[in-house]
Amino acid sequence: MSEKKDVSRRNFVKYAATGIVVAGVAGAAGYYAATNQAPAPVVTETLTQTATAQATTPSAKPAQLDHFQWFFGPENVKRSLDKFTADTGIKTEQHVGPRVGYESSMITKIMGGAPVDTMSVGIGYRDAWYNAGWLQNLEGLPGADQVKKEMYPSVMDFYLKDGELIAMPYYLAGWFPFYNKRMVNELGFEPARDRNEVYEQCKAAKKKWNLPAPYFTCLLEAAEWMWEQYIVELGLLPFSEDNKPMFEGDSRNAEALKWMKTMYDEKLMPSSIFTDGWDILSLNPAKGYTMYEDAHQYCLEPVNRSMTGEVPEKGNWYLVPRPLGGNEAKLVTQGEWTAMCKNTHSREWAWELLKYLTWKDPSGKFQLLKEWGVVGLLEPYPEWFNDPAVKKEFDAWNPGTGFDGYREYFDKYMMVPYWQLKPWFAEFSEIGKETITKYVLGQTSLADLEKTMGDKARELIAESA
């Protein structure tokens, strides 16, 4: 029987993560016949050769550069693309697709040889796509070293692989702890310092006001991510740097999971926390039903900008001054990337466009990154935090927390979750989410949870190795 395996899109990513690059994908000819576009040249140089190629001045201008993204702020991105076109004379084409299914769609396009210059890259795909040879190494390009020098050291590894720049910022976030200052003050408390204090304060809030959701985070979408944050606060990293699961049999894992289950069992979380998404659950803090929440900062939008009427708690929500767990605790950094594809029309000019979208234009001004402050996205540059225009927009959107608190997190508390950059992480996270949900709902034991997640992690890590 033949040992040959079918190369599905899923398996391609798995094989590519080991350094196998598939050439001559069937169907490319049909794609170009339909689009009347010539295929991009086949790139045969190694990643090391690409990394050491020094670009001094951009090559001849291409007629067009193509940017691919999922549907978030397309009008903001379009303004920066138009600015680039006005400054350079190079036409830019914006391709916007739905967030759900974006990665699958891009895999098809890239494997088919579609012209892609810059593109969004989601959590769990950076290393897999880079190892497949789909993302350009950015080392040696004009300004690349300066980009690294201008980043917060605490989050720089989010954009590096083996010390080399391979992707640029789209946004950064974390599961920041927020509290309702009015409620905490009325109960005579200070902002909680750890999860036990969150539990006690939420019990007091439920007793005083009969709140339906004293605490919430969106476990429907983020159960595994929140589990990571809870155990990291206790000083436990889920994986070692050599990919060994560290949570099995550790009392800190048990403590974090039991806290989640207790909060759910005692109705200190909304009963719909595993069925409703952010769009529904995030109305709780806006209406005064919640006193604590863990959320990405942009998820506070319903509190600060109502499209349906008054927001009783506007201005009452603040960032807890440090991660829960004390001064030694860390906040798991999350975010996504904008990168340059191997199928680019022009490596040098795609890099110039990438800088407009993820850093600064030639005059030293933030373009797209300035606009992201309007919708609560964070970026990894201290200079960005110090930009008066960015600060003004962000503070107007988020009057309670403001920039200063986030700046302190970037200075002291953010950490890059190296395990989330691994090619196997996206699939592990889905299994983890399902298993943690079952545990909190009482459908599996702690021992079975640890065995299921540990075995699955080892299986996926072995496949990628």
Tell me how far apart the alpha carbons of residues 172 and 158 are, in angstroms, rounded to a whole number: 9
Distance, CA of 95 to CA of 74 (rounded, Å): 9
CA 463 to chain centre: 24
Domain 9-171+336-396 matches domain 176-295+424-464 at the CATH topology level = yes
Give me 126's structure tokens: 């950076």
Strands 164-165 and 160-161: antiparallel
Q: How is the chain split into domains, by residue range?
A: 9-171+336-396, 176-295+424-464
pLDDT tens digits for the chain (465 residues)?
333 333 444 555 444 443 333 332 223 222 222 333 333 333 333 333 333 333 455 679 999 999 999 999 999 999 999 999 999 999 999 999 999 999 999 999 999 999 999 999 998 899 999 999 999 999 999 999 999 999 999 999 999 999 999 999 999 999 999 999 999 999 999 999 999 999 999 999 999 999 999 998 988 889 999 999 999 999 999 999 999 999 999 999 999 999 999 999 999 999 899 988 878 888 888 889 999 999 988 887 777 665 445 678 878 889 999 999 977 899 999 999 999 999 999 999 999 999 999 999 999 999 999 888 878 889 999 999 988 888 887 877 666 666 788 999 999 999 999 999 998 998 999 999 999 999 999 999 999 999 999 999 999 999 987
| CA proximity to 344, closest of 170, 33, 83, 136 | 136
CA of 240: how far to CAs of 123, 349, 361, 465, in Å?
A: 19, 39, 39, 15
CATH architecture designation of domain 9-171+336-396: 3-Layer(aba) Sandwich (3.40)
Per CATH, which fold does 176-295+424-464 belong to? Answer: D-Maltodextrin-Binding Protein; domain 2 (3.40.190)
